[in-house]
Amino acid sequence: MMIDRTSLWIVIIGLGIGSFFLRFVFTGLVGNRQMPAWLLRHLRYTAVAILPALVAPQVIWPAGTDGQFDLPRVSAAVVTLGVGLATKNVLAAILSGAATLYGMLFLLG
Amino acid sequence: MAITTTKSAYRKGIVDALPFILVIIPFALLFGLLATEAGLNVVEALTFSIVVIAGAAQFTALQLLQEDVPTAIVLASALAVNLRMAMYSASLTPWIGGAPLWQRALAAYLTVDQSYVAAMTQYEREPQMTVPQRMAYFFGTVTPVVPLWYIFTLIGALVGSSVPESWALDFAIPITFLAMIAPMFRTLAHVAAALVAVIVSLIAVNVPYALGLIIAGLAGMMTGAQVEAWMERTKPGSAT
């Protein structure tokens, strides 16, 4: 379906303004004021909760295979995480994950 | 090596973000390609990436624009995918809230998963850094990432759909995120937070408007906070 130009530009501009607001809402408006201890305690786990939650469904039901379980992608995910845990090295983890993905895709043809 | 000046903080940010180049290129290419396939011209695709700089939200919006979905719903869904940015903003506030407003505004525009995670890891590792050093580090992490996001969106839009699906570019981002997660498991609380977030995200995958991610994230954060409080209570010699 042809995308309507008005809708497209509304989405681009709206998403730009909205995303900026989401990114600015606390750093901009709270700034230097002290936040309560219970809130800070929760915020410490933002990254370690959100990123795995973002990735998990994509590993099990990848967009690239229209949601079909895919052995190369799952293997690549396991290897990336394993190498990352073992080496604490982001680059090593990315490279071994990519190597696993392409190796398996090649082998399974 | 400990950071001693704002200049060395900026440089360390650049160096720490270099591995992301490997994945930001395929991801940006993929957006450019899919935007072209969806009928966007080069200017539209590039503007999209410059104005929004949020891969996952852009892919969501692009997908929904091609279906018969009202514009307001397209916008709401893509913003929901980006709701995590508000959580990033909240968790950055204790570290950079003291910076000048214009720097906080610029950092807000440049808050992406990569810069956020690299910055948080660094701030927690060296809590004695000053606010200017923290800002310099943050801007360092986006220096190799954001320009490439623009450039490779453009290239993707120009080469069009000549990249075969078998390149599996879709999986560049999951691999990056997994690689970024691994060094974050420092305590039992971190591991528990991640595990609960993963389980909830899989259960909540069909929750509309991408809100499953937010539910899973909140569940993980609550778990992490509870486990941390529990560890403090059971720690030998603790006052409480």
- Domain annotation covers residue A69: yes
Query: In this structure, which long-range contacts are made by residues A32-40, counting pairs with CB atoms below 8 Å and at least 24 apart in sequence?
Result: A32/B97, A32/B98, A33/B97, A35/B90, A35/B93, A35/B94, A38/B225, A39/B90, A40/B94
User: Is B88 part of the contact surface with chain A (CB cutoff 8 Å)?
Assistant: yes
pLDDT of residue B240: 45
Task: Report the 10 Å Cβ neighbour count for B15.
Answer: 12
Task: Report the 10 Å Cβ neighbour count for B71.
Answer: 16
Distance CA B95, CA B231 (A): 24
pLDDT of residue A67: 84
- Domain annotation covers residue A87: yes
What's the pLDDT tens digit per position in A74-104? 999 999 999 999 998 888 998 999 999 999 9
- On chain B, the residues whose CB falls within 8 A of the CB of A69 are none
Q: Do A41 and B225 touch (CB under 8 A)?
A: yes
- Domain annotation covers residue A91: yes
ipTM of the complex: 0.84
pLDDT of residue B1: 57
Interface test with A, best of B91, B125, B180, B195 (most A CBs within 10 A): B91
Longest dimension (CA), chain A: 57
Please report, for chain B, the start and end positions of each structural domain, with discontinuous segments joined by +.
6-182, 185-240
pLDDT of A42 strictly over 60: yes
pLDDT of residue A65: 84
Say which residue, B172 or A56, is predicted with more confidence: A56
- Domain annotation covers residue A80: yes
Q: Find out whether B16 and B145 touch, Cβ atoms under 8 Å.
A: no
Helix (H, G, I), strand (E, B) or coil at B120: helix
Structure tokens at B153: 């969106």
Search chain A and give the residue with CA nearest B192.
A49
Say which residue, B60 or A69, is predicted with more confidence: A69
pLDDT of residue B164: 67
Prediction pTM value: 0.81
Residue A53 Cα, gap to closest chain B Cα (Å): 5
What's the pLDDT tens digit per position in B109-136? 999 999 999 999 999 999 999 999 999 9
Structure tokens at B78: 């893509």
Q: Do B224 and A42 touch (CB under 8 A)?
A: yes
Q: Find out whether B229 and A41 touch, Cβ atoms under 8 Å.
A: yes
Interface test with B, best of A7, A17, A54 (most B CBs within 10 A): A54
Q: Do B22 and A94 touch (CB under 8 A)?
A: yes
Residue type, position B118, single letter: A
Search chain B and give the residue with CA nearest A10.
B71
Identify which of A15, A50, A61 has the shortest CB distance to residue B75.
A15
- Domain annotation covers residue A60: yes
- Domain annotation covers residue A17: no
Residues 68-107 (A) with a CB less than 8 A from some CB of B: 72-73, 76-77, 80-81, 83-85, 88, 90-91, 93-95, 97-98, 101-102, 105
- Domain annotation covers residue A70: yes
Which residue range(s) make up the domain with A91?
50-108
Helix (H, G, I), strand (E, B) or coil at A44: coil
Number of domains in chain A: 1
Low-confidence ranges of chain B (pLDDT < 50): 239-240
Identify which of B44, B194, B205 has the shortest CB distance to residue A48.
B194
pLDDT of A12 strictly over 80: yes
Search chain A and give the residue with CA nearest B169.
A64
pLDDT of residue B196: 97
Residues 10-49 (A) with a CB less than 8 A from some CB of B: 10-16, 18-20, 22-28, 30-33, 35, 38-49
Q: Do A50 and B38 touch (CB under 8 A)?
A: no
